Amino acid sequence: MSNIKIAFSSNEKFARHLAAFIASILSNSLDNESFDFYILDGGITEQSQEKIRSLNSIKDFNVHFLKTDFEQLKDCPNNVIFTKNAYSRLLLDLVLPDVDRILYLDCDMIATRSLGALWESDLKGKSLGVVHDFSIDLDRFDNVLTVFLLELTFKDIFNSGLLLMNLDKIRKEKTFRKTLEWVANHPSMLQWADQNPLNVVFHNDFVFLDGMWNGSAQKKDHLNGEPMPAIIHYLKRVKPWHLEYDGLYEEQYEKYLSMTPWKGTPKSPQSPVKMSFIRNAKRRLADWIAQKALPHSPWLQSLMDYRDSMEEQNKNLFNVIRKRVQ
Ligand SMILES: [Mn+2]
C-alpha cells in the first residue's frame, strides 16, 4: 500500500481545473495507492470545496484545505500572468510540519497513468526531483535574457510545475526561507515567478526525473511521435479551457473535466487582445503620425534609420547572449 501525498495551489478560478486533474489522478491510480491531497487554498469557496470532495465517487481520498497566509508572501509580486498564489508552494515546509516527502503539482495538468513510480523516485540525497523545462523558447529575447541574468544555462533549468520534495531536508536547511529572501531581494528578476528563485537557490540540489512526468502539450514538442506524457502540462498561457487553444491533448482535459461537477462548463476567451498585437499597432501608429506630421523630413528619416540600426545591433547582441546560455 503506498500513500501518495500531493500538494496543489489553487484559487477559486482554478478550482475546476484542479478538479479535472484530481479526477485524472484518481481514475488512473492503482488499487494499492491511496491519496492525501493538500490544497494551498488561495480563496476556494465552500461550494467548490464540496465539489472537489465529491470526486471520492471515483475513488476515496483525504483532502486538506490549508488557507494560504498571504502575509508570509508579502514580498511576492502579483501580476496578470502570475499571481501571488504561485509562490505559496514555498510555504509547504511550514504548513506541513509533519510531512517528510511531498509531490507538488501545478493545476494546469492532467495525469494519464499512475503516479506511483513518480512518488517512489530516488532523490539521491537531494532536495528536489524535477523535470527540465523544455518549453523555454530560446528564439525569444526575454527568455534568453532571463536565463542570462540568473547566471544559469538553459539545460540546467527545471520547470517548477512539478516538484517532488524532500520536505524534511528543505525544512532543516531552510531552503524555502532562503528562496523567499531571494524573491524579496530580486524584485526585477521574477519573470517566471517562483521558477526563477527556485532554480537559483536549488541549483545543484535537485535530480532530473524522466521528462514524461512533466510533459509538454505543445505540438512542436511532439513532432517525432513522442508518446503521450504520464503528466501533461498545459504550459502556455492559452490553456485547453480557452477558446483559442491550439495545443495537444485538449480531449484529455475534457475527458476528466466531464467526471467532475463542472462538467459542461463552456470555454472562455484567453484574452480579448494579444499584447504583441498592441505593441505592433502602437509602433505602426507612431510611424504613421510621424510621417504625417513631418513628411520628407531628413531629420525624421535619420531618426528612423537610427532606430532600425539599433534593432540590428540588438539582434546581434541577442545572438551572442543566446550562445552563452545554451
Ligand atoms: Mn503550469
Q: Which of 146, 128, 121, 127 is nearest to 136 (CA)?
A: 146
Whether residue 264 is contained in a domain is answered as: no
Distance of alpha carbon 211 from alpha carbon 221, whole angstroms: 12
Distance 107 CA to ligand 1 centre (A): 7
Task: Let me know whether 208 and 118 are in one domain.
Answer: yes
Q: What is the pLDDT of residues 267-312, one digit of tens each?
A: 998 876 666 677 778 778 887 887 788 777 888 888 888 888 888 8
Task: Let me know whether 105 and 189 are in one domain.
Answer: yes
pTM for this structure?
0.89
Whether residue 71 is contained in a domain is answered as: yes
Q: What is the mean pLDDT of the chain?
A: 93
Higher local confidence (pLDDT), 83 or 110 = 110
Whether residue 167 is contained in a domain is answered as: yes
In this predicted structure, which of 67-76, 212-221, 273-282 has the lowest mean pLDDT?
273-282
Q: What is the pLDDT of residues 221-277, one digit of tens each?
A: 888 888 999 999 999 989 999 999 999 999 999 999 999 999 999 999 887 666 667
Residue 167 has pLDDT above 70, yes or no: yes
Task: Let me know whether 183 and 280 are in one domain.
Answer: no
Distance 233 CA to ligand 1 centre (A): 6
Distance 297 CA to ligand 1 centre (A): 50
Are 148 and 124 within 8 A, CB to CB? no
Task: Let me know whether 142 and 78 are in one domain.
Answer: yes
Task: Let me know whether 144 and 176 are in one domain.
Answer: yes
Range of the domain at 208: 2-257
Task: Let me know whether 247 and 293 are in one domain.
Answer: no
Whether residue 282 is contained in a domain is answered as: yes
In eight-state DSSP terms, residue 165 is E
Distance 184 CA to ligand 1 centre (A): 22
Burial class for 142, CB neighbours closer than 10 Å (0-12, 13-18, 19+): exposed
Distance 162 CA to ligand 1 centre (A): 9
Residue given cell 545572438 in the structure block: 319
Element (H, E) at 197: helix 195-201
Distance of alpha carbon 50 from alpha carbon 36, whole angstroms: 16
Total number of domains in the chain: 2
How large is the angle between the packed helices 298-325 and 275-293, nearest 10 degrees?
150
Looking at residue 272, what is its pLDDT? 63
21: CATH: 3.90.550.10
